[in-house]
Amino acid sequence: MSGAQSFAISKAILITGGFHRLDFSGDLTLNSCSQLQNDLHKMLLRFVFCIVASTLMVSSETIVQNSQIVEPQLALRRFGNPSDKPEPNTPEYKKCKAEHGNKRTWKHKTHPCNNCWCNPKGGITCTRMCPDGTQLLTNSGDNVARIFDYNSCNAVIADNQKLEMKNEYFAEQTILSLAWYPNKCSNDPASCCYLNSTRDQPIKIIDSNYGYVRAKYKSHSDKDELLTAYACSFNSTGERIYAGYFEKIGIFDTQYPGNPVQLIKTSPSRKSSDGLKGIISCIDFPHPLSALSPNSFLSATFSGNMALCDQRSGTISHVWTMQNLTRKPKGITNVSFSPDGNFIFAGTRQSNNIFCWDVRNLSTPISSFSRVGKTQQRVGFIVDNSQNYLICGNLDGSIWFHGLNQNMQCTKTDKFLVHGDAVSDISMHPNNPIIASVSGQRHFNINDSSEDSCSDFDSSIKIFEILADNKDL
């Protein structure tokens, strides 16, 4: 072996030092040289692998650092007239008010002086966007359910588009719950319907195109008294209707109106402390593609209890209470599954927090999210389809976006002041990053006893497009 070759070999050994140790004591034979070449070849491959690995590690660290520095910036773009409230002294406002008997009611389709339309009495308490994103369902304090036609594609193009009311349904008493048919499609008129639960009335399926009642579902007590459904919902397939009563859950067949096909007692007796006690306040089903969809559904009560129930057997599988989180149990007003079905979110009355549980361990919540919700009324929240944000309304008229990571921990919070009164509910478009928010609550003025004393409070519907730079919704 020449000196140049031995120098090259020793240089290669010095470069790849630390990976392999070679002993040059003694003479080098032909076999030893071939073995040495094989060893050097392996060492060179290891050297190249380490360089590539170190490069990937540096690039990954750079990505992590960039993700910590560059945070996604959210923005809301409102569709329609940017003016939030009409000026009371303008001639347009006075003319509109005079045309409706000096009452700000919702008797006309469009508002000539404001894109938010006239304020119904008692505020707007609920909003539901239909599964195909073409219509918007609302409930207000005047016991009227209203349907608005909304085409998201046209709204993105034309900012000055106004919602037009398609029809309205006047309920006999207070509307307690609304729910869309999950398979609703505007091209199929038979599927265009929603559930309406009213106090002291049967549950009704109402046609969303024409506003008439299609079917009624009712349940009676042992004394043959009509039971009030405080919560109602279709299951994921739309084949069954689930209704929440006092310590009972009624299951109806959608194709056969009338009495329930099954009635689940959530507690053995009134004196018993076992089971799900109190009035069933809300019912929710996981996403159809999640693992829990064919088996489980979630129910909660105004007594502060929640339960996972089995759809197949009609039994309660697990019950837990929120008494450990607060000094005394508070009524649960909203519950929701995450889109993947692995987490449960719940909000209560008189509480500034929204709690989250892992379905695999329901003993204690894994996280909590702040909000302004010290009130007895329902204040809604939603989780976006990509499970990146928890969007909640607040009493100060703002909407908060809580950033979520994989462990459902809050990473950041973006706040937007969009209404002049409490944001009572939020709904999201099923396919596009578009949300609809409603505002309003009851106000009492002891100095003025007139009917229109609370007409200047904001009770409106607003639609926003969510603009995110680095995070998809």
- My answer on whether 314 and 373 are in the same domain is yes
Which of 51, 69, 87 marks a domain boundary? 69
Residue 51 clears pLDDT 60, i.e. is over it: no
Q: Decide if 352 is inside a domain.
A: yes
Mean pLDDT, residues 37-48: 55
Predicted local distance difference test score (pLDDT) of residue 44: 58
**In this prediction, what percent of the chain has a pLDDT beyond 90?**
38
Same domain, 281 and 403: yes
Residues 105 and 179 in one domain: yes
Is residue 19 assigned to a domain? Answer: yes
Q: Is the pLDDT of residue 72 over 50?
A: no
Query: Are 53 and 177 within one domain?
Result: no
Res 157: pLDDT: 37
End position of a domain, from candidates 47, 69, 91: 69
pLDDT at site 294: 72
Question: Which of 36-45, 246-255, 359-368 bottoms out in mean pLDDT, i.e. has the lowest?
Answer: 36-45
pLDDT at 68 over 60: no
C-beta separation of 396 from 372 below 8 A: yes
Pair 305, 180 in one domain: yes
User: Do 25 and 150 reside in the same domain of the chain?
Assistant: no
Q: Give all strands of the β-sheet with 398-404 in edge-to-edge order.
A: 381-383, 389-393, 398-404, 410-417
Is 124's pLDDT higher than 90?
no
- Work out the pLDDT band at 45, boundaries 50, 70, 90: low
Examine the pLDDT at 15 and tell me if it is beyond 50.
Answer: no
Q: Which residues contact 339 (CB under 8 A, 6 or more apart)?
A: 287, 290, 383, 384, 385, 386, 387
Lowest mean pLDDT among 61-70, 274-283, 397-406: 61-70
Range of the domain at 132: 77-468
For all residues of the chain together, what is the average pLDDT? 75
Supply the pLDDT for residue 55.
41
Same domain, 54 and 158: no
Residue 90: pLDDT over 60: no
Question: Is 473 part of any domain?
Answer: no
Residue that is last in its domain, among 69, 99, 126: 69
For 227, phi then psi, to 5°, come to -90, 145
Residue 109 pLDDT more than 70?
no
Query: Domain of 340: which CATH number?
Result: 2.130.10.10
The reply to whether 131 and 31 lie within a common domain is no
Residue-level pLDDT at 448: 52
- pLDDT at 98 (0 to 100): 64
Asked whether residue 65 falls in the same domain as residue 81, the answer is: no
193 shares a domain with 175: yes
pLDDT tier at 34, thresholds 50, 70, 90: low
Q: With cut-offs at 50, 70 and 90, classify the pLDDT of residue 253.
A: very high
pLDDT of residue 230: 95
| Total number of domains constituting the chain | 2
Output 145-154 pairs: Cβ under 8 A, ≥24 positions apart.
145/169, 145/171, 145/175, 145/178, 145/194, 145/196, 145/206, 146/106, 147/208, 147/211, 148/461, 150/436, 150/463, 152/429, 152/431, 152/432, 152/434
262 in the same domain as 348: yes
Residue 399, in any domain of the structure:
yes
Region 14-41 average pLDDT: 42
377 has pLDDT over 70: yes
Cα 249 to Cα 243: distance, rounded to the nearest angstrom:
6
pLDDT of residue 52: 42
- Note whether 81 and 53 are same-domain residues: no
Residue-wise pLDDT for 166-197, tens only, equals 888 999 999 999 999 999 998 999 999 999 99
